[in-house]
């Protein structure tokens, strides 16, 4: 039964991934995701439904438009497969539940932001601000897996219901790690006199906090920053780009940090907390 549910979730993930591809292309360009129907970005001819089946059409068309033979970006099947894998995994792990739905939505938002940043260096508000709101709403229906606010409330002598604490955790986690990121960017700008970080990254961090809770969000921020520094430096070295002109797609690394937080992050945070 669980396997069947997870497989159905995976199939649904393929469809959602296909929709995310539309969002990744259109939102950064200020276009509607509802109209018009999908079209080839090469010849602008509408794409028939049989050429728009997730992954399968890409393989059958060998990655080229049926009409103009323009290459279809590998991002299309990749986003579909990644979303399907995430949906399968979370339903497999948590069963068909609100908790699983929350992590499916969160990973879909992360995947869309990661690829939008990679391609356009833009993080659309629909995903960052819209996503943050969804994270807070989910906190009402399923408790945020974090106890930071709960502990602070106990220390301060407050008591509150589980739902109130969950919403509070989501809000605090949306503000604090994003605030740290914003302050870092602000100081960098003051000291180096160039912009190191876009406000889109700060909004993305807020979205992640709303879903992850304080510790998970801080884990994602640290993991993403470390990964971004290592990969960014290696990239500049290898391609011999001018370091002062290269713009690192930091949202990509935040996205990977977020995925790590909901897969390997939990146990690592526990291990680290145990060492303190």
- Residue closer to Zn ion (CB basis): 77 or 143: 77
Q: Minimum Å distance from CB 67 to Zn ion? A: 5
Total residue length of the chain: 276
Binding to Zn ion, residues 127-156 (CB under 5 A): none
H or E, element range at 18: helix 2-26
Q: Minimum Å distance from CB 76 to Zn ion? A: 13
DSSP-derived letter for residue 49 is G
Q: Which stretch binds Zn ion (CB under 5 A): 26-34, 57-65, 73-81, 222-230?
A: 57-65
CA distance 53 to 55: 6
CA distance 210 to 172: 8
The reply to whether 248 sits near Zn ion by the rule CB under 5 A is no
Q: Minimum Å distance from CB 48 to Zn ion? A: 12
Q: C-alpha dihedral over 85, 91, 92, 97, to 10 degrees? A: 170
**What secondary structure does DSSP assign to 54-94, as a single string?**
TTHHHHHTTTB-TTT-PBPPTHHHHHHHHHHHHHHHHHHHH
Near Zn ion by CB under 5 A: residue from 28, 42, 99, 266: 42
Near Zn ion by CB under 5 A: residue from 7, 8, 15, 40: 40
- Residue closer to Zn ion (CB basis): 60 or 70: 70
* C-alpha pair distances (Å), 176 with each of 51, 91, 93, 185, 272: 45, 30, 29, 14, 20
ω into 36 cis (within 30 of 0)? yes
- Residue closer to Zn ion (CB basis): 46 or 95: 46
Number of residues that bind Zn ion (CB under 5 A): 7
Q: Which residue, among 205, 218, 187, 219, has the nearest Cα to 251 in the 3D structure?
A: 205
Q: Which stretch binds Zn ion (CB under 5 A): 58-66, 87-95, 114-122, 185-193?
A: 58-66
CA distance 259 to 60: 31
61-80 footprint of Zn ion as x/- string (CB under 5 A)? ----x-xx-x----------
CA distance 86 to 80: 10
* C-alpha pair distances (Å), 114 with each of 70, 76, 132, 165: 24, 13, 16, 30
- Residue closer to Zn ion (CB basis): 33 or 43: 43
- Residue closer to Zn ion (CB basis): 67 or 121: 67
- Residue closer to Zn ion (CB basis): 33 or 70: 70
The reply to whether 232 sits near Zn ion by the rule CB under 5 A is no
The reply to whether 48 sits near Zn ion by the rule CB under 5 A is no
Q: Which stretch binds Zn ion (CB under 5 A): 1-9, 39-47, 115-123, 240-248?
A: 39-47
- Residue closer to Zn ion (CB basis): 64 or 121: 64
Residues that bind Zn ion (CB under 5 A): 40, 42-43, 65, 67-68, 70
């Amino acid at each position: 039964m669980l396997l069947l549910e997870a497989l159905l979730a995976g199939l649904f993930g393929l469809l959602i991934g296909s929709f995310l591809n539309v969002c990744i292309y259109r939102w950064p360009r200020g276009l509607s995701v509802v109209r018009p129907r999908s079209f080839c970005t090469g010849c602008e001819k509408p794409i028939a439904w049989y050429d728009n089946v997730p992954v399968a059409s890409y393989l059958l068309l060998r990655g080229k438009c049926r009409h103009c033979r323009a290459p279809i970006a590998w991002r299309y099947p990749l986003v579909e497969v990644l979303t399907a894998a995430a949906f399968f995994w979370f339903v497999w792990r948590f069963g068909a539940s609100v908790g699983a739905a929350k992590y499916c939505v969160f990973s879909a938002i992360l995947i869309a932001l990661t690829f939008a940043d990679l391609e356009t260096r833009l993080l659309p508000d629909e995903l960052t601000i819209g996503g943050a709101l969804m994270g807070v709403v989910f906190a009402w229906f399923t408790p945020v897996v974090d106890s930071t606010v709960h502990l602070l409330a106990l220390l301060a002598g407050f008591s509150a219901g589980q739902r109130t604490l969950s919403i509070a955790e989501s809000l605090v986690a949306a503000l604090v790690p994003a605030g740290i990121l914003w302050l870092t960017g602000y100081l960098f700008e003051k000291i180096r006199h160039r912009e190191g970080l876009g406000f889109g990254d700060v909004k993305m961090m807020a979205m992640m906090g709303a879903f992850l809770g304080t510790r998970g969000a801080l884990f994602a921020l640290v993991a993403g920053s470390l990964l971004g520094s290592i990969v960014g430096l290696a990239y500049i070295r290898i391609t011999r780009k001018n370091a002062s002109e290269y713009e690192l797609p930091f949202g990509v690394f935040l996205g990977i940090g977020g995925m790590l937080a909901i897969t390997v992050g939990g146990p690592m945070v526990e291990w680290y907390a145990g060492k303190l």
